[in-house]
Amino acid sequence: MDITVATNFVTSTLLISVACMIVAGCAILINNMIHRWWKPLSWSIVPQSIKDVISGNFEQPAKEVKEPVKQEPHIEHQENTVTQVRVKD
């Protein structure tokens, strides 16, 4: 391999790499400009239910959890018994 073949190879490799980066950048730019007018496409022949089982996302969505009601403990004192702690209802 002489120097001219090596320089042609390096130059063409760099130009092809730069061209690929420009094409990818243009695709991303166009995608960002028109993203609100199209729906995402599914590029798979595997149904979503099988994908969920494979990825482990087959559980039902969590229900909303309500905040617990904070209650102050009420201490009752009685003679000849152990002190009992109860929560007021």
pLDDT of residue 1: 79
One pLDDT digit (tens) per residue for the chain, 89 residues: 799 999 999 999 999 999 999 999 888 888 888 877 776 655 667 677 777 777 766 566 666 767 777 777 766 666 655 555 566 65
pLDDT of the residue at 9: 96
Look up residue 46 and give its DSSP letter: S
Alpha carbon separation from 29 to 4, 41, 42 (Å, rounded): 37, 18, 21
Residue 74 dihedral angles phi and psi, to the nearest 5°: -115, 125
Cβ–Cβ < 8 Å for 87, 74 = yes
One-letter identity of residue 31: N
The pLDDT, as a whole number, for residue 16 is 97
Is pTM, for the whole model, over 0.75? no
